[in-house]
A = this chain, B = another copy of it.
Amino acid sequence: MKIGELSRRTGVPTRLLRYYEEQHLLHPDRTDNGYRDYPESAVQDVQQIRGLLDSGLTTQMIRAILPYLSGPDEILLPAEHLTPDTAALLQGHIDRIQARIECLARNRDRLREYLAAVRPEGEEGAVRS
């Protein structure tokens, strides 16, 4: 798949697809004429990347964890390649993500409480025009 199609199918501008490649988040191979050639799975990959970026992770952190997110089908790294170091790194990333989740959840709850408290006026979410 060429970059234009991937862009259309994911809604992500080609500029960003090239950027993600520059950041080593995507690795399309090239056809003879130099065009990028993406596998079908790239669609999922791009959505994954977008979600994580939107959640406030940097490309660097995404690059670090992406290899371990590829799919539940099979484990990529045999255990002998998972040094204690790598495991610790990974655990650190997990912890950071967890901290973010907690912060966001806390604030979401407070916003919900506020909203609930301030409009007990019989509105149950239905938006009436």
Contact = CB atoms under 8 A, between A and B. Distances in A.
A11 interface: no
Contact of A118 (B52, B69, B77): B77
A91 interface: yes
DSSP majority for the A interface?
helix
A68 interface: yes
Contacts of A13: none
Copy number of this protein in the oligomer? 2
Interface stretch (A1-9, A20-28, A32-40, A100-108): A100-108
Which of A52, A56, A90, A98 has the largest count of B CB atoms less than 10 A from its CB?
A56
Interface of A: 48, 51-52, 54-57, 65, 68-69, 72, 75, 77, 79, 82, 84, 87-88, 90-91, 93-94, 97-101, 103-105, 107-108, 110-115, 117-119, 121, 123, 125, 127
